[in-house]
Amino acid sequence: MEMNDTTNLAAEAPEAEAPEVDTEASDDTLSADTYENDDGSGEAPEEDEELDIDGDPVRVPKSLAEKLKARMMMQADYTQKTQALAEQRREIESQRQATQWEAETRSALFNEEAQLLTVRQRLEQFQGINWAALANQDMQQHAVMQAEYTQLKDYHDRLSGHVEGRRHELASYREQSTAIALERAVQHLNTPKADIGWDGKFDAEKRASLTKFGMDVGGFSNEELSATADPRHIQMLNLARIGYETLRKQNATLKQAKPEAKPVPTVAMGKTRTGPSNPDKLSPEQWVKWRESQLARKANR
């Protein structure tokens, strides 16, 4: 009975009225709180900066932009160095293959030239044969030797073609290598190097002047200097010329500044003369004065 009364009282109790809320004040308070606590620090939002990432403009916070730019610069530097290293490795591999090809070609050429020399020596032995007389004496021997001569002649012609072909290949390779080396040298020599006196200019006039200096002062031949393609050799030759010309100017300056040597006057050593050199040439009055002064000096001693 008590439980039923309690339940009925709870059901019959009027509902509690909810308190009224000022929505306008709440909205204003929320807006202010949202602005003040937007990033949790109570400060204004950080400025953005636009970055170009792979061709696409991207806006990021300024503090993050600095880190991204530093990372992008590191990545670009790494990529550049990696590409340069890969290019250097390709160049080294290409040079290795070219050197190997040249060595193998020269070896094959040497063997073929040796074989060609042997065949020529054998063919020279056939030049003294009287083929008509040999045919009359021994037709079978004539046929054997004629066949051998024909085979050697054909082999000589084919071998000569191989030798000339390899020589042409090597000559073309040398010309191409020299052209490439000169092109690289010119690119290297176009860069100024103040520490060694190189102005970054390498034209026909400078090459001619360096060649003349190397021949006149260094004792090199024109062929040796013309075959020089290493930019380091050319720059060192130019540095040697600068030093040589500087030394000549210093020597010329020292020679002009050196005073002319004059003879030192000699002084006769002996007794100091206080009177006339020849008393007999004095007048009577001068002689008397001289004699009196001489007697006075003697009396004072």
Q: Give pLDDT tens digits for 150-161.
A: 999 999 999 999
Question: How many independent structural domains does the chain possess?
Answer: 1
- Would you say residue 213 lies in a domain? yes
Task: Report yes or no: 48 and 59 within 8 Å, Cβ to Cβ.
Answer: yes
Name the pLDDT band for 277 (thresholds 50, 70, 90): low
- Please say if the pLDDT value at position 35 is more than 50: no
User: Are residues 160 and 113 in contact, defined by beta-carbon separation less than 8 angstroms?
Assistant: no
Hunting for tokens 């002009």 — which residue is that?
256
Tens-digit pLDDT profile for residues 171-224: 998 888 877 877 777 778 888 888 888 988 888 888 889 999 999 998 988 888
> Percentage of the chain surpassing pLDDT 90?
27
Asked if pLDDT for residue 278 goes beyond 60, the answer is yes
- Let me know: does 241 contact 213? Beta carbons within 8 Å: yes
- Lowest-pLDDT choice from 54-58, 249-253, 260-264, 293-297: 260-264
What per-residue confidence (pLDDT) applies to 140?
Answer: 92
Tell which wins on pLDDT, 238 or 254: 238
Residue 146 has a CB neighbour count (10 Å cut-off) of 15
Q: What is the mean pLDDT of residues 82-95?
A: 87
Please name every residue paired with 89 in a beta bridge, in sequence order, or none if there are none.
none
What is the model's pLDDT at position 266? Answer: 57
Under DSSP, is residue 265 helix (H, G, I), strand (E, B) or coil?
coil
Statement: residue 146 has pLDDT above 60: yes
Query: Nearest to residue 241, comparing CAs of 281, 211, 280, 277?
Result: 211
**Helix/strand/coil for 202:** coil
What's the whole-number mean pLDDT along residues 131-144? 91
Computed over every residue of the chain, the mean pLDDT equals 77
Nearest residue to 237 via CA among 225, 248, 249: 225
Residue 93 in any domain: the answer is no
pLDDT band at 16 (very low <50, low <70, confident <90, very high): very low
Sequence-distant (≥ 6) Cβ neighbours of residue 98 within 8 angstroms:
173, 177
pLDDT of 38 above 80: no
Look up the domain containing 206 and give its range: 192-253
Q: Distance between CA 253 and CA 7 in Å, rounded?
A: 129
This prediction has a pTM of 0.43
Q: Examine residue 214 and state whether it is found in any structural domain, yes or no.
A: yes
Please check whether residue 216 lies inside any domain of the structure. Answer: yes
With cut-offs at 50, 70 and 90, classify the pLDDT of residue 44: low
Nearest one of 155, 120, 147 to 131, comparing CA atoms: 147
Residue 200 lies in a domain: yes
Residue 49 domain-assigned (yes or no): no
SS (H, E, C) 7-25: HHHHHHCCCCCCCCCCHHH
**Domain assignment of residue 223, yes or no:** yes
Phi, psi of 99 (to 5 degrees): -65, -40
Would 208 be classed as within a structural domain?
A: yes
Which pLDDT belongs to residue 145? 92
From 226, 233, 234, 210, select the one nearest 178 (Cα to Cα): 226
Burial class of 12 by CB neighbour count within 10 A (0 to 12, 13 to 18, 19+): exposed
Q: Torsion over CA of 6, 10, 14 and 19, rounded to 10 degrees?
A: 130
Q: b/e string for 159-168 if b means 16 or more Cβ within 10 A?
A: beeebeebee
Indicate if the pLDDT at residue 36 is higher than 80.
no
